Amino acid sequence: MAKDIREDISWAQINSDVLKSLESPRPMYWVIIAIALAMFSLFVGGEIYQYRNGMWVSGQNNPHVWGLYIATFIFWIGMSHSGTLLSAILHLMHADWRKPIYRFAEAMTTFSLMTAGLFVMVHLGRLWQFYYSVPYPNERGLWPNFQSPLLWDAMAIFTYLSSSVIFLFIGMIPDLAICRDHLHPGWRKKLYTVLALGWEGTDRQWRNFRVTYLTVACYLIPLAVSVHSIVASDFAMSQQPGWHVTSFPPYFVAGALYSGCAAIITLFIILRYVFRFEEYMTLPILKKTARLTFAIAMVWTYLNAIEFASVWYSHDQASKDVLIQKATGPYAFAWWGMIICGSVVPLALAFKKVQTNIPMLFSVSLLLNMGMWLERWMIVSPTFSHGYYPWTWDHDQFPSFLQWGMVFGSFGWFTLLFMIFCKVFPSISMYEVKEMVYHRSLASKMGGKGGH
Amino acid sequence: MTQRHLLAVFNNFDEAEAVIKELRETPIKGFNFDDLTMKSPIEHHDVEEVLGSRSANVQWFTLVGSILGGLLGFFLISGAQANFYHQIKGGKPLVPLPPNFVLTYEMFILGGVFISVLGFLVCAGLPAKRSPLYSAKVQVDQIAILVKGDDSAIAALKAVFTKHQALEIQEEAGK
């Protein structure tokens, strides 16, 4: 059995280990930052090129009005859901193993949403008018359609982003006070002093903190479900073949949790190495995350099968044709890639040896996310090339290099934000790890098995 | 009579709990138990039970925020839709309730979350200036008890702290 967090680890040691991560990560950190910067500059370059030349350079045209931008937007929205899963759902279930890893998952939620938001703007083309997409009163003659899922989407994402940032910040206040009290004077100390809001850990503060954290967690869960259900409604509420499926909302939510969990495994392994968190991001936690991912992968696979089955038995010929075209047409390589990466590869997670084998898990997590990205692409594009109108049938389209470049670059943007966050703010919740070891040590003293 | 603050730092929750119990049970003239504040690096439910029922009222802010958020959302959308009368609606209602539910729901949550945070700040007394009696070790692994009492009570309070092996006692003239 791999080693879990020691129950006898001192609280001072926890502080010192986590605070050290803010100052001296392994050199690999800077390599990752450099790669992320290079990738992000590709994104910026692509956007400048598209801005100067117009949207046509992206290759999006009729009927392919949505391309990789929207597929990747859905991917990043989905990625954000794992933070809520780990933070809020497991918090309500008193799963104490989440404590060392939920902070970075919450950060992942925030930065994924910010990345998703970028794609909305890039796709709109006219960046300066992005605010037209939010529910806007009609005094300026905009006449927004309040019954459109696209408008709901903008509002849901804004709500989710702002609530996630608040959730992340509130949960971090006690740790910011630790940083304030133990780091050397400088810009960081000033920043932590402001952000800690004068936290001293009084019983009054803790009591209200607990209620607030729990309340916001309770609100975040239905919010997360609503966000991806609404994203699903962008498709399901249309009449397009392949999209008009009632199981889309739960399918999207399951897919979101799935890709998010896979991303947590990837980032877990990276942070564990880069910030020397071997003591806290332990193999038993990784094992539990892998098992959770496996369970969600099976739910996603089931919902996928249900979608195919309902299309097949509905006798809606147009939808059936889209499904056949996905499996046998020009997109077949991506569709089968989705099936293999999303439903076959996760079977490896059922094996105990894989659950704690770091290189293997790292590779599996990347493949799972590749599968989930392909899933989003396979939702968007094939329907456009095989719609109700025959004139769309000869419009198979392979995305332009610009679209691919922007997708690639968005990973740089996300990684850059995420890694900077982990260097500036504690990516492990110190007070929650202290609570965890304290309760475990109490439980062992009383002869229990430890934990909740 | 002048009041003073005392801060005693302890090694663990057991010692702090024993002190709180003793201060609760022993009447000390010039000291009100409600003026006792515990500072700790983590939340501790058992010690909070010893402290007695001290309320957290954030949930009321949440309730009010959610209701206001929901109402604001619904009436903003409906208000905008009500101006659509000169558009052709094909016999459909000007203010359709089912689709409006989605944005109302989002605003319900947004209001609830925002006002909860406001409630947290109000109820927890944040942001605040750091108290002059403060030990940074509370953010590491020690438990502190802050009390306020008249001059006449200070000696008795100190005696209780010393009896329970306080690691450090800080004193300041109160207001």
The two tokens of residue A431 are: 């007070």
pLDDT at B130 exceeding the cut of 70: yes
Q: Which residues of B touch A155 (CB under 8 A)?
A: 103, 106-107
Averaged over B68-97, what is the pLDDT?
82
CATH class for the domain made up of B3-55+130-173: alpha beta
Q: Indicate where chain B has its CATH 3.30.70 domain(s).
A: 3-55+130-173
**CB distance A198–B127 less than 8 Å?**
yes
Residue A275: CB partners within 8 Å, gap ≥ 6? A21, A25, A26, A29, A422, A427
Q: Which residue of A has its CA nearest to B78?
A: A146
Q: Higher-confidence residue: A394 or A308?
A: A308
Residue A31 neighbours by CB distance under 10 Å: 11
Confidence band of A215 (pLDDT split at 50, 70, 90): very high
Q: Higher-confidence residue: A133 or A235?
A: A235
Q: Which residues of A touch B89 (CB under 8 A)?
A: none
pLDDT at A441 exceeding the cut of 80: yes
A85: β partners = none
Q: Identify residue A99 by its one-letter amino acid code.
A: K
Query: Between B48, B103, B126, which is nearest A146 by CB?
Result: B103
Q: Which residues of A touch B62 (CB under 8 A)?
A: 215, 219
Q: Which residue of B has its CA nearest to A434?
A: B42
**CB distance A159–B106 less than 8 Å?**
yes
The two tokens of residue B58 are: 């954030």
Whole-number percent of chain B with pLDDT over 90: 23
Residue A182: CB partners within 8 Å, gap ≥ 6? A15, A19, B136, B139, B140
Q: Which residues of A touch B120 (CB under 8 A)?
A: 170, 208-209, 211-212
Averaged over A222-248, what is the pLDDT?
90
A125 class by beta-carbon count within 10 Å (0-12 exposed, 13-18 middle, 19+ buried): middle
Q: Which residues of B touch A442 (CB under 8 A)?
A: none
**CB distance B120–A162 less than 8 Å?**
no
pLDDT in tens, A123-162: 888 878 777 777 776 666 777 788 888 888 888 999 999 9
Q: Which residue of A has its CA nearest to B41?
A: A201
Averaged over B142-150, what is the pLDDT?
88
pLDDT in tens, B68-82: 999 999 998 888 888
Q: Which residue of B has its CA nearest to A179?
A: B139
Q: Higher-confidence residue: A313 or A450?
A: A313
Q: Which residues of A touch B105 (CB under 8 A)?
A: 226
Q: Higher-confidence residue: A210 or B165?
A: A210
> Alpha helices of A183-247 — where are they, by DSSP H?
187-195, 203-236
Lowest mean pLDDT among A189-203, A392-406, B86-100: B86-100
Q: How far apart are CA A209 and CA A95, in angstroms?
A: 19
Q: How far apart are CA A354 and CA A194, in angstroms?
A: 44
pLDDT the model gives residue B87: 65
CA B90 to chain centre: 53
Q: Which of A274, A277, A275, A292 is nearest to A361 (CA)?
A: A292
pLDDT in tens, A4-42: 788 788 889 999 999 998 988 999 999 999 999 999 999
Q: Which residues of A touch B123 (CB under 8 A)?
A: 204, 208
Q: Which residues of B touch A141 (CB under 8 A)?
A: none
pLDDT in tens, B7-36: 889 988 888 888 888 888 888 888 888 888
How many CA atoms within 13 Å lie on the side-chain side of A247?
17
Q: Which whole-number Å values give the CA distances from A133 to A142, A157, A365, in the listed order? A: 10, 11, 34
**CB distance B130–A152 less than 8 Å?**
no
Residue A13 neighbours by CB distance under 10 Å: 15
Block residue for tokens 């002190």: B19
How many A-B residue pairs are in contact by the CB < 8 A criterion? 162
Q: Which residue of B has its CA nearest to A160?
A: B110
pLDDT the model gives residue B35: 83
**CB distance B141–A11 less than 8 Å?**
yes
B148: β partners = B5
Helix A317-328 vs helix A283-314: angle between axes, to the nearest 10 degrees?
Answer: 130
Q: How far apart are CA A43 and CA A48, in angstroms?
A: 9
pLDDT in tens, A96-127: 888 888 899 999 999 999 999 889 888 888 87
pLDDT the model gives residue A396: 67
Task: Give the sheet arrangement for strand B143-150, strand by strand.
Answer: B37-39, B143-150, B3-10, B168-173
The two tokens of residue A234 are: 């962008």
pLDDT in tens, A420-439: 999 999 999 999 999 888 88
pLDDT in tens, B34-70: 888 889 998 887 777 777 777 788 999 999 999 999 9
pLDDT at A385 exceeding the cut of 90: no
pLDDT in tens, A176-191: 999 998 888 889 899 9
pLDDT in tens, A68-94: 999 999 999 998 887 887 788 888 888
3-class DSSP state for residue B171? strand
Averaged over A44-65, what is the pLDDT?
89
**CB distance A152–B136 less than 8 Å?**
no
Query: Between A170, A199, A226, which is nearest B105 by CB?
Result: A226
Averaged over A385-407, what is the pLDDT?
85
Q: Higher-confidence residue: A113 or B83?
A: A113
Query: Between B58, B131, B136, which is nearest A181 by CB?
Result: B136
pLDDT at A1 exceeding the cut of 60: no
The shortest C-alpha distance from A281 to chain B (Å) reads 20
pLDDT in tens, B107-129: 999 999 999 999 999 999 889 88
pLDDT in tens, A329-375: 889 999 999 999 999 999 999 999 999 899 999 999 999 999 999 99
B39: β partners = A202, B144
A338: β partners = none
The shortest C-alpha distance from B80 to chain A (Å) reads 6
What does pLDDT average to over chain A? 89
Whole-number percent of chain A with pLDDT over 90: 58
pLDDT the model gives residue B79: 84
Residue B90: CB partners within 8 Å, gap ≥ 6? none
pLDDT the model gives residue A451: 39
